[in-house]
Amino acid sequence: MCVTHSLLADWSVSVTWAANSGREGIGRSQTRRGNKQNRSRFVSSRKTVSDILNRRRFVNAPQGEHESPSSTTSLIRVTGSLTFQARTGKFPLTSSDVTTITCGLRMQSTTNYLWLISDLLGQGATANVYRGRHKKTGDLYAVKVFNNLSFLRPLDVQMREFESNTRHKVLVMEYCPCGSLYTVLEESSNAYGLPEDEFLIVLHDVVAGMNHLREYGIVHRDIKPGNIMRVIGEDGCSVYKLTDFGAARELEDDEQFVSLYGTEEYLHPDMYERAVLRKDHQKKYGATVDLWSIGVTFYHAATGSLPFRPFEGPRRNKEVMYKIITEKPSGTISGHQKSENGKIEWSTEMPVSCSLSKGLQSLLTPVLANILEADQEKCWGFDQFFAETNDILHRAVVYVFSLQQATLHHIYIHEYNTAALFQELLSRRTSVPLHNQELLYEGRRLVLDPNRQAKAFPKTSRDNPIMLVSRESVATVGLIFEDPSPPKVQPRYDLDLDASYAKTFAGDVGHLWKTSESLLVYQELVRKGVRGLKFEVLMQANLLSTEYDEISDMHKKVVRISGSLEPIERMTQDLKSKFLVEKIKVLLDAITAIYQQFKKDKAERRLPYNEEQIHKFDKQKLVLHASKARSLFTEECAMKYRLFISKSEEWMRKVHHVRKQLLGLTGQLIGIEKEVTMLMERVIKKLLPLVSSGMKPQAYLSQNTLVEMTLGMKKLKEEMEGVVKELAENNHFLESNPRQCRTNNDIISFYKAAENINQIIDH
């Protein structure tokens, strides 16, 4: 790479500076360690590189780039072996006195694009991908440069849209600065899978991309997280794009192929046998091999791990890997071997650590089970795959929190579905029958007409869901979580092993942090639901106590039960203040920083003595931070959450006892109401004609009839007195509603009417 005299001035210097290509910028020794001598070894020097840069007033540009004020278009990344040579002290230099900067990582260009070889984005068997710029606009692009191996492929594979000015063939593509789906999954926050919203974006974009390919009869043959790129859209949301069509070809649904492509962890079992185990067979492959790769990719995105894992990993134990993927029982979606020569543990469900809701899992699991089929005859076709996945993507989610169970549910439903279907789905998810469901929303009772469509439901969210209260007793479940077991850290110094430890610790502590946040959210939802119940109780109790003196005692009991909520409220507030989510997050950030540094150390392969000692100190801090985070979670977060759930369960048990008495009494009141109505109709039917005609009752009623009516009315009076007494002694109005209030009014009115009629008959 030639740079004119505008970069260097009137000194004579010959310097070779060796900096490791794995480090960005001037070097880790200057930015982090403060020990430049260990990172820079000078062959011959009159001035250090730092002196040269400072004399010419070079400034640090973003991402380790250095820009010369006198040449705004020349950017140099200081990585690799850099040599400065100046042939003369004259300034300015003439055309014959060329000042050059020879960089081990050179610049290449075509007619319209240029790129630094140091800006390597990815490396494959047949090509490297670099970050380049358009010469006129400066826009960033991804430039794929093919090596000599690429010309050994068939000509139809080589046929592309090339931007070429030399013997090098390059493919210019859109630049995706956010990396790939694999990059996202490597982040510690996603070690146990993507959040539900992000996973749905992946599902939508990959399905849309595959649908587009199938419309043109193209099979990709190498679908994996590393070939799904991520960009940020104008709305700030992720957009995922299929890339790397080096193995793609035209293939209709009824056609087959015999060539081998793909990445072994994501290969269809038939292709795995031939490509990885080198076993010849006469099988041909259809377009559905992409479905297997999609299934493995979706499982990886949902859980953070591969669905089929031998004890030592798929790359080290290929025979067991082949056994797992070929012997997978129908309906299962994963198989793990947890010990050497141990049995394979199959599962039809996602692991507990999965971030996806049970509502989404119930829809996604059948899709995975039917595309992860080794037998191509049993595997779904693309039409059914697209139909089922689009059915998921076109559903809306309604958030429901079951108060007694202390669980949050995501109910996926189409907007045109009715409330009757919604409550049926809710019954399946919570095991609360339809006739026992009572709904609250924002502290008020929510009554859904059975024919009301889901699009007319109130807007819900994770923080503002519909509250479900069961009329029958249900067990408290709470948030189900597991504390991942920490790895056994070997004391020996090993860069590869230490990077693996750091990755595991970062993922585990990230999972604990997300779980602790969820525990806090669940507690707040319980508190919100309890407040809604308390409001309903006090409103009904105040209404009844002002109208009837007979139930004033009941009002006192209701107030007393409502007062029992205060300890729960205080406990929740105490937990909120002491829940050390922020401290766990600080520890997670420290662990993540160590993990990132260990990845750089691993790339170095060998560290100087001083940095080796710092690495060992960081390893000790890594274990200490992880242990402290785990202790905060288990001894503070989890323990106090369980105590909170225990207290709320005890309160809910009291509520259920009172509400059960209410339901029983309500049934009795309805029965008595019917009897009173029938009796009054009989009395009115017999007495009104007598009164209107002025005739005496004896002319129409026998003495026996009057006696029977008198005894019946007295019996009814006694029953009504018993009902009123029971109303006064029972604190069943914890969950009473306006209809029940009207029923009580009717009963008392009937009682007074029956007493008046009884007095008439006595006379």
Please check the confidence at residue 593 and state whether its pLDDT lies above 90. Answer: yes
Please check the confidence at residue 584 and state whether its pLDDT lies above 80. Answer: yes
User: What tens digit of pLDDT does each residue of 228-267 get?
Assistant: 999 999 899 999 999 888 777 776 555 544 444 557 888 8
Q: Work out the number of other CB atoms within 10 angstroms of the CB of residue 644.
A: 22
pLDDT of residue 580: 75
3-state secondary structure of 733: helix
Give catalytic status of residue 589 as yes or no: no
Name which residue leads in pLDDT, 578 or 442.
442
DSSP 8-state secondary structure symbol assigned to residue 484: P
Task: Estimate to the nearest angstrom the gap between the alpha carbon of 396 and the chain centroid.
Answer: 16
Max mean pLDDT range (609-618, 690-699, 746-755):
609-618
Please check the confidence at residue 4 and state whether its pLDDT lies above 50. Answer: no
User: What tens digit of pLDDT does each residue of 90-110 get?
Assistant: 333 333 333 333 344 588 888
pLDDT of residue 228: 94
Name which residue leads in pLDDT, 663 or 216.
216
Least confident of 386-390, 398-402, 530-534, 609-613: 530-534
User: What tens digit of pLDDT does each residue of 357-395 get?
Assistant: 999 999 999 999 999 988 878 889 999 999 999 999 999
pLDDT of residue 91: 37
Quote the percentage of the chain above a pLDDT of 70. Answer: 61
| Token pair 């894992």 in the structure block, residue | 309
Catalytic site residue from 222, 244, 270, 290: 222
Is the torsion defined by CA of 54, 42, 21, 613 positive or negative? Answer: negative
Is 660 assigned a ligand-binding role in the annotation? no
pLDDT of residue 618: 93
Name which residue leads in pLDDT, 528 or 55.
528
Instruction: Provide CB contacts within 8 A for 80, sequence distance 6+.
Output: 19, 21, 103, 104, 105, 118
pLDDT of residue 603: 87
Quote the percentage of the chain above a pLDDT of 90. Answer: 33
**What pLDDT band is residue 675 in, cutting at 50, 70 and 90?**
confident
Residue-range domains of the chain with CATH: 107-174 (3.30.200.20), 179-380 (1.10.510.10), 400-470 (3.10.20.90), 495-678 (1.20.1270.420)
Q: Cα–Cα distance between 231 and 176 in angstroms, integer?
A: 5
Least confident of 94-98, 441-445, 627-631: 94-98
**What pLDDT band is residue 1 in, cutting at 50, 70 and 90?**
very low
Q: Work out the number of other CB atoms within 10 angstroms of the CB of residue 260.
A: 14
Q: Is the pTM of this model over 0.75?
A: no
